[in-house]
A and B are shown apart, each in its own frame.
Chain A
Amino acid sequence: MPPNVPAYLLLALILAGTAASAARRHSPPVNATSAGAPVYIWPLPSSATSGNRTLTVDPDLALDPKGPGGASPAVAEAFQRYRGLVFAPWAHAARSRGGRYDVAKLTVVVASANETLALGVDESYAIYVAAAGGVNSIVGGATIEANTIYGAIRGLETFSQLCVFNYDTKNVEVRNAPWHILDEPRFPFRGLLLDTSRHYLPVDVIKQVIDSMSFAKLNVLHWHIIDEQSFPLEVPSYPNLWKGSYSKWERYTVEDAQDIVSYAKKRGINVMAEIDVPGHAESWGNGYPKLWPSPNCTEPLDVSSNFTFEVISGILSDMRKIFPFGLFHLGGDEVYTGCWNVTPHVKQWLNKHNMTTKDAYKYFVLKAQELAIKLNWIPVNWEETFNSFKENLNPLTVVHNWLGPGVCPKVVEKGFRCIMSNQGVWYLDHLDVPWEDVYSGEPLEGISNKDQQKLVLGGEVCMWGETADTSDVLQTIWPRAAAAAERMWSPLEAISAQDLETTVLSRLHYFRCLLNHRGIAAAPVTNYYARRPPIGPGSCFVQ
């Protein structure tokens, strides 16, 4: 507990804590208010108790920062953002003069001033909202308590979802108060993949995606920057790589990438960069044709040439200055080694080293892993690397599942860490996967051993870009990504306790409308195929 928290707050928290533990004894469903209505917070918090009072919130709501981290500019900035989301632009002018509001300030207590964002950072928080003079409260107002600024940012998101506009009084209100919420994520890695190689996504669009991720408490943007189609990122060490961009406008400078990373960090989101070697790298050779086995056989990268690994090393060193996240994705999927066999100088090299193409694939991946580890990165690789040579993978490796179900159990059994992205449920480019199926994706499926469960870092929904560009990326991601976000954030018991077609559906409708309200082009929930237009006129809450 931070030393400078005033006594009244401590008391409030103790009381609240008592209420919460009492609540746990009676185990009320976390997905319902005291009146039995669904809790319209997405994703569901770990525990929440509510009452039956309605509190008004001052349009000039003030931030009351407490604790060593409370005064962090990141907290103040996040507070401003959320105030802008909760109140209309005219709210301040419409404020009743001398009017009394139940909630006039939001106290944010942050125990640590450390702004480092890393895998496993403490994202827990508690919220307490009550009226002055209420039976259960010492003091009126709203309080968010967190150990880190990132927990506080999650709490602000939840608080913003508690605030609703009253169209009769024109006030923003918190209904069903007093609220006491204790919350933390189930998994430390809750990812979304964006692919800027199949289609370039402008920086502004990536920022919209990051905003929307923070609304659903996702915390890792997996940036699949480069693939065989295009190489949009600037690499100062090898400046010709940029020639592989689609056009001279469809590019990111180093500073653009840094801008994206810092924008994401302010929202508690890590950026995990990927270079997908050796299989998905044809575009590299536009600037350096020597990276191709030959001009007419251009993939995978030439395993026989030192230059290949010099370039990888150069890219990684440059990227290390951009991407502080501890994990780096090295791809390693879908490697068709035909070119290695048919290109004489590569074939010769294989023979000389007594390697099959399979050996060479392993050699390539392991060598790339070493380069990443040398830069203090934990390597992440697609599951083919594990499937092909699990016994040789560096023990640090995080294996990224995609091909199908049942992979993470094998991965964790071997002691590796795992990220679940089973394409049957969590590939967003599969338009025929309805939200219910996305919601059913369970990262711990088939893993009962507690220690092995801990090796599952979480999961990731993947927005591959073959048919997704600026015009349709957001509505292909949302609302389905939200279904996975709840799966990864909320306690399993709470998820299982809800009825899919009533409670969850109405909550997801609500969240989709919230995304729309915030300007995010989330598609209708109940269309069978993703990103389809609404089938006819109607309310957002039923489509």
Chain B
Amino acid sequence: MPKTVSHGTQRLYVKKDITMSMVGSTYSDEKSILKDAFQRMVDLITLNHVIDGINPSSLVLTCVNIVVHTPDDELNFGADESYNLTVPTTGDPLYAQIEAQTVFGALHGLQTFSQLCYFGFTSRLIELNSAPWIITDAPRFPYRGLLIDTARHYLPVKIIKGVIDAMTYSKLNVLHWHIVDEQSFPIEVPSYPKLWNGSYSYSERYTMSDAIDIVRYAERRGVNVLAEIDVPGHARSWGIGYPSLWPSDICREPLDVSKNFTFEVIDGILSDFSKVFKFKFAHLGGDEVNTSCWTTTPHIEGWLNNNHMNVSDAYRDFVLRSQKIAISHGYDIINWEETFNNFGDKLDRKTVVHNWLGEDVAPKVVAAGLRCIVSNQDKWYLDHLDASWEGFYMNEPLKGINDTKQQQLVIGGEVCMWGEEIDASDIEQTIWPRAAAAAERLWTPTEKLANDTRFVTSRLARFRCLLNQRGVAAAPLAGYGRSSPTGPGPCVRQ
């Protein structure tokens, strides 16, 4: 739901070959970001229908003029995503206008415009009801994320692109790519080519070119890609190619804290990543570190003793040393909340703490002056099939934070699609429509959010049908996540 909306009662028709202009823009669209987005928008509202109704002599929108005020086309964290959209009922020619500070704000304006339009099966024209429209809009949070996990199951590039497309329909803007975990290491790392041996199979892999392709695809749609390596706890697969990263052959996790080689590899990975993943942040994981292998492996036990460290110290030092490496490659760091819970005062001050365990963490993080991303698992973990869309909708990232300065430290939230039971066959219907409920929570100003989800049901059902129309396998609202429809019926009632 946009920030402010006013509308009238007039039905307009959208000309079949509606054009785009950029009168008044200081943005040149050299990379064709806007032009391509406009074409995609036209395809979405046309949906391959033959548009051959007779246009009335007036009330026909012939053009969308897009005014972008800054020439920059690099997607950055905190980029101005606001836009104004006006659809008037008078003018000759009649044209809609999108005004935005950046091209990425304009992309959101096009998404909103696409949701005003639909194919009229009787008029055989694209209709736009309730004009004139005046919409001003901006996101509440700069970070609106979705996590995908390509380590528990490999996801083909086509599938990831499908996820990115669907994200743009609900204005999510960060794809958190949990690339690697203990089960598999699918991505190519030129500096340490054997890491790739940790992939599930010869072909369940991403080349660097694939990663660049994905990042570029996302950026052109206003979506940042946040890459994660989850150290030291979730990294067993690294040792398939380099067994010396394991404490020992029989005790393989966490990564060997005692060896310089471990940090050389991390440096190599992040150095390679920095050429591909241009987002301001890198995610370094740091969750669920079970350090027992460090104490049971003699050479590490010896190293700990020599350095007068216990395993908690070693865990802390591992995380902090990794942070320094990432910072040296120009990244700001995101870490899972265990790092904050254990040694929050030692974390680099630029660290963003990524909550997941419970819902009372963000207040503590921001009270300590660090930034926070909210993903409390009880509400925003998509792999929890019993987490309802109502719960996704009502989960408030600022809950328990009253100080406005502290509120600003919450940069947003993220829904997490962990991959243990997710592969190419069921990812879309497990993500949608529940992720859309969270997307509204993250975008829409508090005063416009529904206090009672009963007022959301029909809008969300509609949005789910829209996703279906666009070829996205969003599941029915009823039942647990990704439930099949229980019987025949119209899309909006399921």
Contact = CB atoms under 8 A, between A and B. Distances in A.
A521 B424 contact: yes
A293 interface: no
Contacts of A234: 121
Contacts of B158: 517-519
B157 interface: yes
Nearest to B182: A537
B213 A249 contact: no
Given A203-B47, A519-B156, A531-B484, A246 B423 contact: no
A55 B472 CA distance: 38
B205 to A, nearest CB: 5
Nearest to B124: A253
A246 B490 contact: yes
Interface stretch (A18-26, A105-113, A463-471): A463-471
A21 to B, nearest CB: 35
A94 B209 contact: yes
Interface stretch (B196-204, B342-350, B402-410): B196-204
A543 B152 CA distance: 12
Contacts of A538: 153, 183, 200
B491 A204 contact: no
Interface in B31-48: 47-48
Given A90-B212, A246-B489, A246-B491, A537 B426 contact: no
A165 B158 CA distance: 15
B486 A467 contact: yes
Given A466-B488, A537-B183, A538-B200, A204 B470 contact: yes
B47 A204 contact: yes
A537 B492 CA distance: 34
A517 B485 contact: no
Contacts of B157: 88
A116 interface: no
Given A253-B49, A516-B156, A521-B426, A471 B204 contact: no
B487 A466 contact: yes
Nearest to A251: B121
B420 A199 contact: no
Given A247-B492, A255-B49, A537-B183, A471 B484 contact: yes
A516 B424 contact: yes
B47 A472 contact: no
Given A467-B487, A470-B473, A533 B421 contact: yes
B61 to A, nearest CB: 20
Interface centre among A170, A208, A467, A469 (most CB of B within 10 A): A469
A534 interface: yes
A541 interface: yes
B428 interface: yes
Contact of B207 (A170, A467, A524, A541): A170
B474 interface: yes
A334 interface: no
A540 interface: yes
Given A90-B213, A517-B158, A540 B489 contact: no
B212 A202 contact: no
Given A517-B156, A521-B424, A537-B419, A247 B484 contact: no
A35 B423 CA distance: 32
B468 A470 contact: yes
Interface in B239-264: none
A522 interface: yes
A508 to B, nearest CB: 14
Contacts of B302: none
A217 interface: no
A46 to B, nearest CB: 27
Interface string B400-441: 000000000000000000011111111011100000000000
Contacts of A534: 153, 421-423, 425-426
A523 interface: yes
Most central of B121, B157, B207, B482 by chain A CB within 10 Å: B121
B23 interface: no
24 contacts: A90-B210, A164-B203, A167-B188, A199-B491, A202-B47, A202-B469, A203-B48, A249-B465, A253-B49, A253-B121, A255-B50, A469-B485, A470-B472, A471-B473, A471-B475, A472-B482, A475-B425, A518-B158, A533-B426, A533-B430, A534-B425, A539-B201, A540-B423, A541-B201
Interface of A: 88-90, 94, 164-165, 167, 170, 197-200, 202-205, 208, 229-230, 234, 242, 246-251, 253, 255-256, 259, 465-472, 474-475, 513, 516-524, 531, 533-541, 543
Given A469-B476, A516-B424, A517-B203, 12 more contacts: A88-B210, A88-B213, A247-B492, A253-B124, A467-B486, A467-B487, A472-B475, A475-B426, A513-B203, A534-B421, A541-B201, A543-B423
The 6 closest A-B pairs by CB, nearest first: A246-B490, A255-B50, A539-B200, A519-B158, A516-B424, A204-B471
